[in-house]
Amino acid sequence: MARAFQAGKQMKTNTHSHTLSAVRAMIILAAVTLLLGGCGSGGGSDSSGKGGQSMDAIYQSEGIPVRTRTVEPKTFVIAVAQNASLGASRESSVVAALTGEVASIQAKVGEKLTKGQVVLRFPANTPGLRYQEAKASLDNAKWNYTRLSNLYDAGNISEQKYQSAKTGYETARASFEKLQEIIAPTSPIDGTLVKLDVQESEHVNPGEALFTVADPGNLEARVWLTGGEIGSVTVGDAVTANWNNQEIHGTVIQKDLTIDQRRGAYGVRVRFPNPDQSVPLGVTAEVRVPVYRQRGAVVLNRAEVVEQNGTPYAFVVQDKKAVRRKLQIGRSTITQVEIASGINAGDQVITEGQTLVSDGSLVRLSGSGSVSENAGSSQ
């Protein structure tokens, strides 16, 4: 029985070994079949196109796919960009002219004021002012002037006495009005109360800031240009400023005729309307002042210009072929170049695919299978 058991065990082991060998053989056969099938297909899709053709063959028969645009004349502008603070076009601050405490505040920040409107008050009995003495002096001078005026009109006094009384009254009135301005400071201009530096009962000394009135509806900034740039700027030129992704438009209102020795540059003042006051006073914005403007210019994007051996070229489409044009470049910005010669308005310049073509290459518009009917003419 033991021999029979050993024989059965040996038969089972041999059967398992044969099964594993068969599986391995099938895996190897499948791998070889796939490998041979790949080789027979020409190496994959990277080197073949429609019907197994290579991409080079498709380009030769149908053309290299490109995109184009028709060149149109435009105004080409180069601007100097500088960061500048935007302040109010009109602004005036008032400081204390006495030592004392603020009695009352009669205006709020943001309130529109008229020139001469009282903003705050100090007590009339503030020590050192002599307000009551000044008022009594004015009353007396006025009474005397009125009395002598009547006598003068009646011919009872000389003109010298009349003029003396008049001068005394006007002097007393001016002194009292100045004193009133000290104890009740007023807005020096029409505008908006943009800053209040004191509070009620606060003690102040002469020279300390009280409040500021400004016109936030118009903003101004100053930029600085070189001697080569200032000659291209004219009062009235359009300018722009960008703050917080908001572009505002303004004009040049003044340009200096002499150089600032400390800066070594010429100052230019620009103004921006701000009717809705969406731009706060004092913010820093990027101000752009045009220093070169050419109307009717031919302009290419830098990506449309191809350099070969240091020479700039562009490709245009004519008769379904790419035509290389040698360029003479004028002025330029980071993204665009002015073309002095080589490309004309109406030419159909290649905007995409220009690095794939050469002079005389057959081309087709990408997605359409043919070039546009209004292809530009060659020079």
Whose tokens are 């002599």? That residue is 130
Q: Both 179 and 220 in a single domain?
A: no
DSSP 193-240: EEEE---TT-EE-TT-EEEEEE-TTEEEEEEEE-HHHHTT--TT-EEE
CA distance 284 to 124: 42
- DSSP H helices in 41-190: 55-62, 131-153, 159-183
**Residue 357 included in any domain:** yes
CATH of the domain at 100: 2.40.50.100
As a whole number of angstroms, the distance between CA 40 and CA 136 comes to 119
Are the C-beta atoms of residues 205 and 99 closer than 8 Å to each other? yes
- Residue 17 lies inside a defined structural domain of this protein: no
Mean pLDDT by 10 residues, the chain (379 residues): 41 42 43 38 46 68 90 95 95 95 96 96 90 93 95 93 95 94 95 96 96 95 96 95 96 96 96 94 96 94 94 96 96 94 96 93 69 36
277 and 223 belong to one structural domain: yes
β-sheet with 112-113: strand ranges across: 91-95, 209-214, 191-196, 112-113
Work out how many domains the chain is built from and give that number.
Answer: 3
The DSSP symbol for 97 reads -
If asked whether residues 184 and 324 sit together in one domain, one would say: no
Whether the CB-CB separation of 196 and 97 falls below 8 Å is answered with no
| Residue 112 included in any domain | yes
pLDDT value of position 42: 40
Q: Of 292, 313, 331, which closes a domain? A: 292
- Alpha carbon 117 to its chain's center: 37
pLDDT at 374: 37
- 247 is in which domain, residue-wise? 79-88+215-292
Which of 292, 315, 340 is where one domain is finished? 292
48, part of any domain:
no
Q: Answer yes or no: are the C-beta atoms of 211 and 120 closer than 8 Å.
A: yes
**Edge-to-edge strands of the sheet including 218-225?**
74-85, 284-297, 238-243, 246-255, 266-273, 218-225, 87-88
Q: Hey, how many other C-beta atoms are within 10 angstroms of the C-beta on 79?
A: 15
Asked if residue 351 lies in contact with residue 317, where contact means CB atoms within 8 angstroms, the answer is no
Residue 62 inside a domain? The answer is yes
Structure-block tokens of residue 147:
């009395």
CATH number of the domain where residue 344 is located = 2.40.420.20
The whole-angstrom separation of Cα 130 and Cα 183 is 11
Both 208 and 224 in one domain: the answer is no
Between the CA of residue 67 and those of 44, 50, 125, 162, what are the distances in Å? 28, 21, 84, 94
Q: What is the pTM of this model?
A: 0.63
Q: Is residue 49 part of a domain?
A: no
Q: Per the domain annotation, does 229 fall within a domain? A: yes
| Predicted local distance difference test score (pLDDT) of residue 49 | 53
Are the C-beta atoms of 268 and 299 separated by less than 8 Å? no
